[in-house]
A = this chain, B = another copy of it.
């Protein structure tokens, strides 16, 4: 809401947010769409979206004159700006899946509208036109990320492979943030012989909030997709809460760690691959990456959806394992405590997870152990309880985060049903998901 005096002034002129207006102040004339007030911004500051796509704030004072544009009519659709491609810039394809990055204030209703047309990204971030040229823009879905699943991952992987094989220099996937790290893990495993960057970008605040992170995240993603030497799937999001630079972090070593902060995505058990500045500077932080090269990419999208992620905690009922097995589960990842513990030598024998884990494995359901600590690495031997659990034949997930182990298990089981082979594949490092050494700098980075 604008301040009372500004609102009064607008009401008198019967001007609403979303109207095309001409505004005159200090002998300068501005034409554009009247936008809602910038959140947390000055309530006396009128915001116009100019025809070139940029927003401008104009402090309301007595000398401000405003009028609806002649021939003005209430907008029926969002005014797409013609996007001027510069053909010499790197060709990048954009796949849109939905999420906050694709939401904005609806100028027609004033509410927040999910999913707009991909073309509208350029309206929000006109700077993109100076960084890359778009080979293709495809709307794959208009879903909040909590509603995405393996079919969406498969679609992203197939479309990305298709675009890269047809000459795209990189891919940007816009995506809701909640489960972005699940999707980035899935594509990390599915993209075989990946030789170009695939960059996930999202936003914690919708594009038309003053505090939106959409603009910088998209600009930095364009730099990574168009110019970087990373043949990796990764997430490009704010590294700090202010608009300084982004991290580009490997898709298997990153996690949303805050409900609302713009710098919510943190590297886990690994350094980010790079710092990326909106001016295009890319500072490598982690030399351990695959370099861009030529060749054909394959999307290896087989995925077994019947896998589950289960948390062990004091009093957790291991009967849930039996329920899962009965319902036909094909693999289970356990989020253990500490080094990978589950209730084991409990005074209440019915709460010990070990017999239930053993039953699952005896029923040919592989069980992978990870840690709910998030940071660190599981270990099968330090304590007696770990050795007891180990004797059931569980797979110790090294330093994989639970979410990544879950996605990987679904992918692995789709490729083999053999328990020994599943173990071997789970412990093979396909996409940087297992680090040999733990870098002490990576805790709480």
Contact = CB atoms under 8 A, between A and B. Distances in A.
A430 interface: no
Contacts of A385: 144, 146-147
B373 A182 contact: no
A351 B444 CA distance: 33
A243 to B, nearest CB: 15
Interface in A252-274: 256-261, 263-264, 266
Contacts of A305: 315
A139 to B, nearest CB: 15
A313 B346 CA distance: 29
Contacts of A378: 259
Contacts of A314: 146, 148-150, 179, 182-183
Interface residues of A, number: 77
A38 to B, nearest CB: 17
Number of copies: 2
Nearest to A374: B257
A204 to B, nearest CB: 9
A373 B150 contact: no
A406 B376 contact: no
Given A148-B314, A313-B403, A443 B258 contact: yes
9 contacts: A144-B384, A147-B346, A148-B314, A150-B314, A178-B339, A257-B373, A264-B375, A317-B327, A320-B320
Interface of A: 100, 112, 114, 143-151, 177-179, 182-183, 241, 256-261, 263-264, 266, 305, 307-317, 319-320, 323-324, 327, 335-348, 351, 371, 373-379, 383-385, 403, 406, 410, 440, 443-445
